[in-house]
Amino acid sequence: MNILILGSGGREHAFTHQLIQSKKVTKVFVAPGNAGTDKIATNLDVNPTDFNAIKEVVIIHDINMVVVGPEAPLVNGVHDFFLADEKLKTIPVIGPKKDGALLEGSKDFSKEFMIKHGIPTARYQSFTQENLSKGKDFLETLDPPYVLKADGLAAGKGVLILDSLEEAKAELEEMVSNQKFGEASSTVVIEEFLKGIELSVFVLTDGKNYKILPSAKDYKRIGEGDKGLNTGGMGAISPVPFADESFLSKVEEQVVKPTVEGLQKDGIDYRGFIFIGLMNDNGNPSVVEYNVRMGDPETEVVLSRLASDLFELFEGVANQTLDQKEFSVIPQTATTVMLVSGGYPEAYEKGKTITGLENVTESIVFHAGTTTNNSDVVTSGGRVLAVTSFADTIQEALDKSYRSIDEIHFEKMNYRKDIGFDLVS
């Protein structure tokens, strides 16, 4: 079997790392990939949202399955494109069609879905330019802080959490009237603020059956102590100690089952990952958001703990036989610490040579924003490397990651030294 993975981050390197271990997999291609995937698979210089270019490489390289990393190709309909094409329609795509991808592509759709199917989530209402004044009235009925969300995809920036009512009203107007986040904020979801501790649970579904993957917690802020600007994620830990058996069984009963059943009831044939962002409020789950893909850097810790064959699981997704597939997870804790370019998440420089990777012995280094320049590995993005380790405790795994980081160098390298600070005593 030849597999094509779409994407270029640490998530896609982690997918590649798992899939090349399957006896059934002959070759793995990654489009466009990075310097890490280049070492263990074949990179193809194709943009994941250029569907005609994808079609071309799928035919040339005799691809038997496509695994979609990021959300954009899914929201743009890559799965639908395959189904509508005579030459591609029998090639399975791991990732939902456009209808299912709306769970991430539209916050309004996903909130409506949750309410309709009785899935616990914050009380909300949606507003546009037409009913802006009603939106301001709704804000007055809520207690601070106020949560405003652009309905559409806004590169992870479309959520505002504001302490003052006046500011919330002004930002609402900026979003719907002045297109603060472009077209994405022409509809805005206003919702109640949820208290509690955040974590994520990942589900792989074939539309009927599901497997619940390990839980993970990511660290989104650039600064230590969870301070400063939001990033794509500065590190992650799996499993999450406070997600105990009792909490996870509530997640399964109150969130996962009604989500998979709700998709079926609504006629949405969903084949792929569901990434559920949750708040744990005194042991009770509430859904913050759905994503229709795996998280990055969560994949680096979640899928790394998979003991079963990922390709077999994907075959189960494609054939709706996921219930017959072996599924097991290694009990050890995984931690990943992201090395980022100085300046990220604001402006940063690229093209810095990375040295010392060959001296890392205790960790797996998943590449995120890297490329190859002659024989050098150089930085090509904000998030550069995800240094991932395993051990019996969080602390030991973190110690390994930080020892490995001491071996790695590039100009203006930055990272958080306190990943997991809230989970270790």
Using CB under 6 A, list all residues that contact ligand AMP: 122, 147, 149, 159, 191, 193-194, 198, 277, 288-289
Residue number with CB closer to ligand GLY (159 or 391): 159
Rg, Å, the chain Cα set: 21
Instruction: For residue 141, count CB atoms less than 10 angstroms from its CB and return exposed for 0-12, middle for 13-18, buried for 19 or more.
Output: exposed
Instruction: Verify binding: residue 206, ligand GLY, rule CB under 6 A.
Output: no
* DSSP secondary structure string for all residues of 115-135: HHTT--B--EEEE-GGGHHHH
First-to-last CA distance in the chain?
46
Which of 48, 152, 207, 233 is close enough to bind ligand GLY by CB under 6 A?
233
Distance CA 324, CA 309 (A): 13
Report whether 9 contacts 33 (CB < 8 A). no
Residue number with CB closer to ligand AMP (144 or 277): 277
Q: Which region, judged by CB under 6 A, interacts with ligand GLY, from 159-167, 294-302, 325-333, 415-423? A: 294-302
Which of 69, 73, 232, 285 is close enough to bind ligand GLY by CB under 6 A?
232
Least distance to ligand GLY from the beta carbon of 418, Å? 17
Task: Quote the tokens at residue 63.
Answer: 């691809």
Residue number with CB closer to ligand GLY (298 or 315): 298
Report whether 129 contacts 174 (CB < 8 A). no
Instruction: Verify binding: residue 238, ligand GLY, rule CB under 6 A.
Output: no
What residues contact residue 380 under an 8 Å CB cut-off, 6+ apart? 34, 350, 351, 369, 370, 371
Instruction: Verify binding: residue 298, ligand GLY, rule CB under 6 A.
Output: yes
Instruction: Verify binding: residue 7, ligand GLY, rule CB under 6 A.
Output: no
Report whether 219 contacts 255 (CB < 8 A). no
Instruction: Verify binding: residue 218, ligand GLY, rule CB under 6 A.
Output: yes
Residues 165, 166, 167, 172: is their CA dihedral positive or negative? positive
Rounded to the nearest 10 degrees, the angle between the axes of helix 107-116 and helix 98-105 is 100
Instruction: Verify binding: residue 316, ligand GLY, rule CB under 6 A.
Output: no
Least distance to ligand GLY from the beta carbon of 323, Å? 27
Binds 296: which of ligand AMP, ligand GLY, none (CB < 5-8 Å by kind): ligand GLY
Identify which of 327, 298, 110, 130 has the alpha carbon closest to the alpha carbon of residue 216.
Answer: 298
Residue number with CB closer to ligand GLY (217 or 352): 217
Residue number with CB closer to ligand AMP (71 or 289): 289
Least distance to ligand AMP from the beta carbon of 148, Å? 9
With CB under 6 A as the rule, give the number of residues binding ligand GLY: 7
Residue number with CB closer to ligand GLY (38 or 298): 298
Question: Which amino acid does the sequence have at 372?
Answer: T
Report whether 370 contacts 384 (CB < 8 A). yes
What residues contact residue 67 under an 8 Å CB cut-off, 6+ apart? 3, 4, 5, 6, 15, 19, 94, 95, 314
Least distance to ligand GLY from the beta carbon of 118, Å? 25
Least distance to ligand AMP from the beta carbon of 288, Å? 5
Residue number with CB closer to ligand GLY (18 or 231): 231
Binds 232: which of ligand GLY, ligand AMP, none (CB < 5-8 Å by kind): ligand GLY
Question: Which amino acid does the sequence have at 274?
Answer: I
Least distance to ligand AMP from the beta carbon of 91, Å? 31
Identify which of 185, 215, 172 has the alpha carbon closest to the alpha carbon of residue 329.
Answer: 215
Residue number with CB closer to ligand GLY (208 or 221): 221
Residue number with CB closer to ligand AMP (164 or 373): 164
Binds 289: which of ligand AMP, ligand GLY, none (CB < 5-8 Å by kind): ligand AMP
Residue numbers at the binding site for ligand GLY (CB under 6 A): 218, 232-233, 291, 295-296, 298
